[in-house]
Each structure stands twice: as structure tokens, then as C-alpha cells.
Amino acid sequence: MTSDDQLAVQAEPDDEITFCRLVERVAACRLCPSMEGRRRVLGPGNGPLDALVLFVAEAPGRLGGDRTGVPLSRDRSGLNFERLLASSGLGRAEVFVTNAVLCNPRDAQGRNRPPRFDEQSRCLPHLRAQLDLIRAPIVATLGAVALRALDRIEPHGIILRQQVGRAVPWRGRLLFPLYHPSEQALLTRAFDRQQQDYRALGELVLSVRAAIS
């Protein structure tokens, strides 16, 4: 076990934690010195706790979640996400959106940067707690960081480029891997291909709704 894995195990959440308690815990979290002064992006703005789909993205953006308090909102990635989400037939108010890392990572020039592995490790218990609380039957990952975070909670063996847009059983739910809606990821998987992925997600949601109604 690496020291980062040990970090993730040390901070196991309580079995009986409520969402409000988790929000308080995250707001008070100071595990990452690099996140000093950043907003902890978890609260009512993430979405309804009884959502059918729980999206897990990478980390809040400087001009997005860190500014608005709502993941994937207002910045370029957020605007792309809302357009893609519309392809699924789902509205923003129907889904819960969170990040593998709940604070905005920045480089020395103040620009967004990918979260480091140690930051991902420290935030993993918060992600595990959200998965325990928000029992959405579909968990959709947005990008490789989110997919890897879930693999550390319970291995799923998914390779994003091979299995994008296809549901895989995972922890009694369906795990649905998608690309991140960032401009950079659109260079790897173009917008129209991503729209097809979201349409497939919409069809999955319809079948899950029919199965549970």
C-alpha cells in the first residue's frame, strides 16, 4: 500500500454521516495545504440527493465551481457539460454533480491545473462518503481522473477510450464512463461523439426509470 493509499484509508467516513454533516466536514477540511483559500465545492448546489445519475468530474475550475459554488457551471467546461447533458434529455436539476477533488487546484501562475495524486488521495474519503449517501443507480464519470478515483474505491477495470458510453456493473450500480467536457478533452473525443455518448446515457436512464417504476 502506498502512502497515498494509507492517507485515503485513514480518513474513512462514519457509517451514519448525513449530507449536511458531510458538507460541514468538507467545509472544514484542511488536508491539502495547496488548497488554502479555495472554496470547498460541496453543498445543495451540487444537485438533489435522490438523483438518478451521479456525475463525478475532476476538480472545480477557477472560473467555474470555485467562483460559483456549483460544479461545472459558468466556465467553458460547465457550458459544454450543460449542452452535452441536454443531449441526454436530463436537466441539471435532475442530476447530482461532484468532483473527485473538491477544491480548485492551481499552478504557480494561478491557472487551473490537474489535481495531483496526493490531493486525489486526500479527497478520496469525501468521494466515498458521497457515493454512500447519494444512491443514484447510475454513476457517470467525466474523464480519467474520476474514473481512476472510483477504481481506487473498488476496482472496475474500465479503460476509458475503449468503453466510453457503455455501462458496466459496479458496486450494485451502473458505472457509465464519459470524457470530461473540457475544451482539451474535446480534442480527443469531438463534441458530436460526446453527444452520442450522452444520448446513450439518456437511453440508459429511461430503462432504469422503467425498471424501478
**Closest to ligand SF4 by CB, 128 or 180:** 128
CB of 65 to ligand SF4, least distance (A): 12
**84 in Cβ contact with 194 (< 8 Å):** yes
- Applying CB under 6 A, the residues found at the interface with ligand SF4 are 26, 29, 31-32, 35, 40, 101-103, 119, 122-123, 126
Residue 14 CB coordination number (10 Å) = 11
**152 in Cβ contact with 5 (< 8 Å):** yes
Residue 107 CB coordination number (10 Å) = 9
CB of 81 to ligand SF4, least distance (A): 20
Residue 168 one-letter amino acid = V
**Closest to ligand SF4 by CB, 59 or 185:** 59
**Closest to ligand SF4 by CB, 35 or 205:** 35
**Closest to ligand SF4 by CB, 90 or 103:** 103
CB of 181 to ligand SF4, least distance (A): 21
Cell of 66: 470555485
CA distance 175 to 44: 23
CB of 106 to ligand SF4, least distance (A): 12
Q: What is the DSSP string of 185-202?
A: HHHHS-HHHHHHHHHHHH
